Amino acid sequence: MEQYLPILIFVLVAAAFPVVTLVVARVIRPHKPDPVKLSSYECGLESVGEVRDRTSVRYYLIAVLFVIFDVEVIFMFPWAVRFKQLALLGFVSMATFLGILLLGYYYAWRKGALEWV
């Protein structure tokens, strides 16, 4: 079990970090609230409407497709970096992987998942 000690220390440090930062910030910061400061932060834009607004269910589909094709890239980066070492096997594996994704893309396209009606 000894080899797990670093992981335990890591977990403790990770847990302590936000707690310590928040507590220290609270203790030493000046406290002068006004309405603008208390409003929720929207990247500098003024917020519009309620938080719990109803969104179209199509967002969900687009989001899922986005995640799939976004995560695919994460898989490709290490392959691209080690392209020479992985040689033909790596190339064929990645080609198969992309081929399957392409089939999925075609399916989603034909099903109209990419259209915003």
Partner 1 sequence: MMDILGSLFSWLPVELWIMRPELCLTLAAFLTLIFSVARRAFQPRWLGYFSIAVTAAVGAPLLDLFRRTTELPGQEFVAWNGMFVVDSFAVFFKVLFLLAAILTMLMSIRYLDVEKAHTGEYYALIMFAVVGMMFMVSARDLILLFVGLETMSISTYILAGYLKRDRRSNESALKYFLLGSFSTGIFLYGISLVYAVTGSTHLRVISDAIAEGLVNHPLLVLGLILMIVALGFKIAAVPFHMWVPDTYEGAPTTITAFFSTAVKAAGFAIVLRILVEGMLSARMHWAPLVVILSAASMIIGTLGALLQENVKRLLAYSSITHVGYLLMGVLAVQRGADTGARGMVAIAVYLLAYTFMNMGAFGLVVALRREGLVGDQVDDFTGLARRAPLAAFSMLVFMLSLGGIPATAGFIGKWYLFGAAIKADYVWLAVLAVLASATSLYYYLRVVVRMYMGEAEEEGGLRPSGALASALVISLVFTILMGLYPQPFIWLAQHVVLY
Closer of 3 and 55 to partner 1 (Cβ):
3
CB 58 within 8 A of CB 116: yes
Is 4 among the residues that bind partner 1 (CB under 8 A)?
yes
Closer of 5 and 43 to partner 1 (Cβ):
5
Closer of 79 and 105 to partner 1 (Cβ):
105
| Contacts to partner 1 from residues 77-106, by CB under 8 A | 100, 103, 106
**Least distance from C-beta 6 to partner 1, angstroms?**
14
DSSP letters, 71-86, are HHHHHHHHHHHTHHHH
CB 113 within 8 A of CB 65: yes
| Contacts to partner 1 from residues 39-68, by CB under 8 A | none
Dihedral sign of CA atoms 11, 72, 67, 46 in order = positive
Question: By the criterion CB under 8 A, which residues form the site for partner 1?
Answer: 4, 100, 103, 106-107, 110-111
